[in-house]
Structure 1
Amino acid sequence: MDAMVDKMDATDMTETTETRPSRSEAEAAVRTLISWAGDNPDREGLIDTPSRVVRAYEEFFEGYDEDPSEVLGRTFEEVEGYNDIVMLRDISLESHCEHHMVPILGKAHIAYMPINSVVGISKLARVIEIYAKRLQTQETMTAQIAETIVSALKPAGVAVMIEAKHQCMTTRGIKKPDVATITTQFTGVFKDDPRMEERFFRLVRGDRSY
């Protein structure tokens, strides 16, 4: 059964790659949206907009072209006996809602408890960047980040917290601009030991009095 699922996943990825539209087709789609919105894509102010939008999308969604597991592929075992939390706090995050394709803006906090190896801290931030640069829900992104760190480093535990504002809620629909969404994912010691969970939250708040 697992082999069948793997084969289906591989097939889906191949079909997606083979049917990816060309740049000219993407620009034509933007022209269509401009016309649908009620404007003239051939007027001076909009004539270059389709190409600009496509270039912007290349930046917004560059995470599809990268493998986060490979980013964490190089680890270091020489840690001189270090056996406590490794944490990155206030990592800026820019993503896009998969339901409305509008920005999700916020910050992420991640921590892990190493056992035998650590990884360069910039690599952890890069994992967040890769998943953020895709169409996302915040819940899925939070879980993906935690699962990738667990799989690559096999630590004693991982903690991930994301707090962000969704423009699909702040600028349209219900239009509540001050609402932030908070999601968390805990594994290992952060999930099983309430004291470790509390330490994580204290570090997020900048409280080092634990």
Structure 2
Amino acid sequence: MKKLTLPTPVTALSPRRPSRAEAEEAVRTLIAWSGDNPARPGLEKTPERVAEAFGEYFKGYKQDALAELAQTFEDPSGYNEMVLLKDIAFESHCEHHIAPFFGSAHVAYLPSDRIVGLSKIARVVDIFARRLQTQESLTEQIATTLEEGLQARGVAIMMSARHHCMAARGVQQRDVATVTFRFLGEFERNSALRDRFMAVVRD
């Protein structure tokens, strides 16, 4: 089974993490560069609010997705069919423009001899979404983490999202949805199993 390799957070590569005051000053610089006055009443508290918001948007850097899957349960019924969660809502930020993208994830796995609490799968999606991402990397990271963390016989992921960076700048296409897939294990080898997954997702 492939060993999970995740991107190293920037803070781990930097000599130090900037202080909250430095982060707020950076926001003031961007406001001024944009052409406004960061000291005017409407913007005076904006650097503080932006720093607080970034702490929420990117809290996934402080969380361990594999740790969420550490507690599994033996299933006395011997269930070994697909477990699928549809329509897990997520919001992330594009690493190219720090613009939001949001949508739904559909996640399935084939248990080996153990199952996991369903909320843990949604938490894995959220942890990776709350980092600077591309949708392609986000899809891959969720799939690989579930395969490794659950020792699953197979994992299937479909993600559909709308990207603000595509809607509000450049080509300005507001109604375009981006769809990504990742199939591992039995889902990758078995086309009939993939078709079952897609049929349930599209139902």
TM (norm. structure 2) is 0.93
Q: Deviations over 1:129-171 (max 9, x none)?
A: 0000000000001000000001011111000010001111111
DSSP 3-state at the match of 1:118:
strand
Pair 1:142-2:139 in alignment: yes
Distance 2:106 2:201 in 1: 7
Task: Pick one of 179, 182, 185 that aligns with 2:182.
Answer: 185
| Residue in structure 2 matched with residue 132 of structure 1 by the alignment | 129
Question: Any runs of at least 4 consecutive aligned residues in structure 1 with deviations exceeding 6 A, and if so which?
Answer: none
DSSP 3-state at the match of 1:76:
strand
| Residue in structure 1 matched with residue 78 of structure 2 by the alignment | 81
Task: Pick one of 33, 36, 51 that aligns with 2:30.
Answer: 33
Q: Deviations over 1:146-202 (max 9, x none)?
A: 000010111110000100011111111110011111000001111111110010001
Distance 1:177 1:79 in 2: 48
* 1:50–1:178 CA distance, 2 compared to 1 (3 A): same
Runs of at least 5 residues in structure 2 that lack an aligned partner in the other structure: none
| Residue in structure 2 matched with residue 161 of structure 1 by the alignment | 158
Runs of at least 5 residues in structure 1 that lack an aligned partner in the other structure: 1-5
| Residue in structure 1 matched with residue 65 of structure 2 by the alignment | 68
Would you say the 8 A contact 2:11–2:17 is kept in 1? no
How far off is 1:19 after superposition?
A: 1.4
* 1:143–1:61 CA distance, 2 compared to 1 (3 A): same
Q: Deviations over 1:51-86 (max 9, x none)?
A: 000000000000000010001010111241111110
Structure with higher helix content: 1
Aligned residues: 197
- For 1:46, the aligned partner's letter is L
